Copies of this chain bind each other. A is one copy, B any other.
Amino acid sequence: MEYKVTVLRGDGIGPEIVGEAKKVLKKVAELEGFSLHFQEELFGGAAIDACGEPLPEKTLRACRESDAVLMGSIGGQVGVSPWYKLPVEKRPEAGLLRLRKELGLFCNLRPAKLYPELRAASPLKEEIIGEGFDIMMIRELTGGLYFGEKSLRVENGEEVARDELIYRAHEIERIAKIAFSLAKERGADLVSVDKANVLESSRLWRKIFTEEGEKEKEVVLSHALVDSMAMQLVRNPGKFSVIATENMFGDILSDEMAEITGSLGMLPSASLGEKDFGLYEPSGGSAPDIAGQNMANPLATVLSAAMLLRFSLHEKGAADRVEKAVEKVLQKGFRTKDIFPKQKEEDIVLLSCSEMGDELVKVL
């Protein structure tokens, strides 16, 4: 088999972390006997600098013609980077939103797993963490407030701003189907999050999830309000396995959830469209403050590459191998700066971004 992967290195630490993920992908492809064709394209701030817009047509076309997209991270520091002097719709983040919509990436998978070796990094107490947690959040990604109509008008002499939160039944149905099937795979309960006591869109969300739940009897479905979930994630994260929610709530809750692991540099993400196509990127940002210093953590990007192997290329063996390799380097005591313990520990070795990539290749 030969697969085409478009690579968007992006900004800040993007090029470094993507470089290591490519190293790992090449090695595992060799080991598993398939071949990967990488095509690099401009995106985000880098694309603005080169051609004045965050998502050039050529980039979009390349993404469309590939089996999957591997992305670094985009954007810079607001107030520092000149990209944020541009109008909102020309900024790096606008490119990302347009890319999601154009590629139909409606399903965002954001896992938050606490690695046993990195328990100490969690801001939560030992007794709260308990057995640890391994949560998969499924966030709807091309609907809701993000893509509804927006307006700023003057009415009766004052400015009035509007954003529309809109959900169509089929947009909820397709995300519910994925949520139930992931819950089934994991043998886990499913918690759907909404604000049905206030929002009409949440009431439709809840109704459709409930209907889907009547068909999927093996999965125990429950509903939580978004404010209550914001509490429960901090009080008892181990209680959850699969959580599904709409776009804006997912943006907030997935970041809260990422933070309770204490190691954002370990968290991958996948944004899936119809038919296996997907875009894969680390959950963290572009960290402009440490860019170019070969000290970023490439593991989130490497784990994103594993998700790419799993969900878009169906190379399950290769995906498992990469995930195992990540566990192994942690067990061996290798750490990048962001996950290096604050209290001294025996046999823990600080590595640069590229050294971490090399170790992964070694253990593969």
Interface residue ranges, A against B (CB under 8 Å): 88, 91, 93, 97, 122-125, 127-128, 145-146, 148, 150-152, 155, 158-170, 195-201, 203-205, 226-228, 230-231, 233-235, 248-249, 251-256, 258-260, 342
Across the interface, A200 reaches (CB within 8 A) one of B152, B165, B234, B252, namely B152
Query: Taking A234-B259, A252-B226, A256-B256 as contacts, is the C-beta distance between A161 and B123 under 8 angstroms?
Result: no
Contact residues of A: prevailing secondary structure: helix
Across the interface, A201 reaches (CB within 8 A) one of B123, B128, B162, namely B162
Report the bound CA distance from A182 to B260 in whole Å: 30
Query: Taking A159-B204, A258-B231 as contacts, is the C-beta distance between A199 and B152 under 8 angstroms?
Result: no
- A162 near B162 with CB under 8 A, answer no
- B256 near A91 with CB under 8 A, answer no
- B235 near A201 with CB under 8 A, answer no
In the complex, which residue of chain B has the Cβ closest to the Cβ of A165? Answer: B163
- A165 near B152 with CB under 8 A, answer no
- B164 near A198 with CB under 8 A, answer no
Across the interface, A230 reaches (CB within 8 A) one of B164, B166, B256, namely B256
Report the bound CA distance from A254 to B165 in whole Å: 22
List of B residues within 8 angstroms of A166 by Cβ: 160-162
List of B residues within 8 angstroms of A122 by Cβ: 125
List of B residues within 8 angstroms of A204 by Cβ: 152, 159, 161
- A97 near B198 with CB under 8 A, answer yes
List of B residues within 8 angstroms of A200 by Cβ: 150-152, 161-163
List of B residues within 8 angstroms of A151 by Cβ: 200
Report the bound CA distance from A195 to B247 in whole Å: 13
List of B residues within 8 angstroms of A155 by Cβ: 168
- The contact sample of 30 A-B pairs, CB cut-off 8 A, is A93-B197, A93-B198, A122-B125, A123-B124, A123-B128, A123-B235, A125-B125, A127-B342, A145-B198, A148-B162, A158-B168, A158-B170, A159-B168, A159-B169, A160-B166, A160-B167, A161-B166, A162-B165, A162-B200, A162-B201, A163-B164, A163-B165, A163-B200, A195-B251, A228-B255, A230-B230, A230-B256, A233-B256, A234-B259, A249-B252
